[in-house]
Amino acid sequence: MKRVATITFLLGLASLASADVVLPKIIAGHAEEPLIVAHRGASRDAPENTIPAFQLAWEQGADAIEGDFHLSKDGEIVCFHDADTKRVAGTQLVVRQSTLAELKQQDVGATHGVAFNGTRIPTIAEVFATIPQGKKIFIEVKCGAEIIPTLLNEIDQSGLTQEQIVVISFNKQVIQQLKIKAPQYKASWLCSFNKQETGEITPALATVLKTLKQIQADGLSSNTAVPASVIEAVSQQGYEWHVWTINDLNTARRMQALGVLSITTDVPGSMR
């Protein structure tokens, strides 16, 4: 059986080689099991970015949760993805123009089923309180760097360890300012790769590496369209690589073979 498994593994490496994957990286031991990160909690089974979704993610065996965070009008950090509440609550409040009290009046669970009627938008402190010892949170900042002083204060009060915190954002200034003010926390730049009509993948590798260095990021967090050449170059420069959002096992296994450190998914239970 061991010989069959070895042959199967080597055949898999051969197929990956044809897809522009650098084999020495895989053989060196980077195909270990990645962290399973629950995207907005267990968001297929419960309302996204809510306490029920995060609690369910822990029950399903997630290693970490990922949540989206905005600063409200009165300076509170709330867990919510969109700029306004229309999609999930049916009423349109702009998050940054609304107070915490106003946002707490919104029912963000009803559209996911009657079992979640009355579910409210949580604060970041309420989300922090769900995190078990040894588990992590990936904090995606959806606004600008103005959130950082309040965010650092909330982290300080949470009782979570430095190792449990990862900050992520598409906003380069957020990552840069976070690393200036609190370099002890890991932070990754979110980047979405796209294939142009010409076949070119953007952003270019040179742009990615320049950005990571400029903002002092610890890693790159990307969609699955990232070229293998980018993954290899980023890793060789000492940066971590994380990927989102994957809900099928074949893609997850392919990313694992490429050396990804975490896989963000809507279905942490089945992905585990």
* Residue 32 confidence class, pLDDT cut points 50, 70, 90: confident
* Residue 199 confidence class, pLDDT cut points 50, 70, 90: confident
Neighbour-count burial of 54, counting CB atoms closer than 10 A to its CB (0-12 exposed, 13-18 middle, 19+ buried): buried
Domain ranges across the chain: 21-271
pLDDT for res 95: 98
| pLDDT (mean) for 90-102 | 97
Average pLDDT over the chain reads 91
Contact 189, 212 (CB under 8 A): yes
What is the DSSP code string of 120-182?
A: -PPBHHHHHTTPPTT-EEEEEE-S-GGGHHHHHHHHHHH---GGGEEEEES-HHHHHHHHHH-
pLDDT for res 253: 96
Please give the Cα distance from 179 to 200 (Å, whole number). 32
pLDDT for res 18: 37
Domain 21-271: give its CATH superfamily: Phosphatidylinositol (PI) phosphodiesterase (3.20.20.190)
Tokens 């938008």 label which residue? 121
Contact 44, 266 (CB under 8 A): yes
Question: For 113-151, what is each residue's pLDDT tens digit?
Answer: 999 999 999 999 999 999 999 999 999 999 999 999 999
Q: Side chain identity at 270, as an amino acid letter?
A: S
Please give the Cα distance from 79 to 69 (Å, whole number). 5
Given a cut of 50, is residue 16 above it in pLDDT? no
Given a cut of 80, is residue 62 above it in pLDDT? yes
Instruction: Tell me the backbone φ, ψ of residue 64, rounded to 5 degrees.
Output: -155, 160
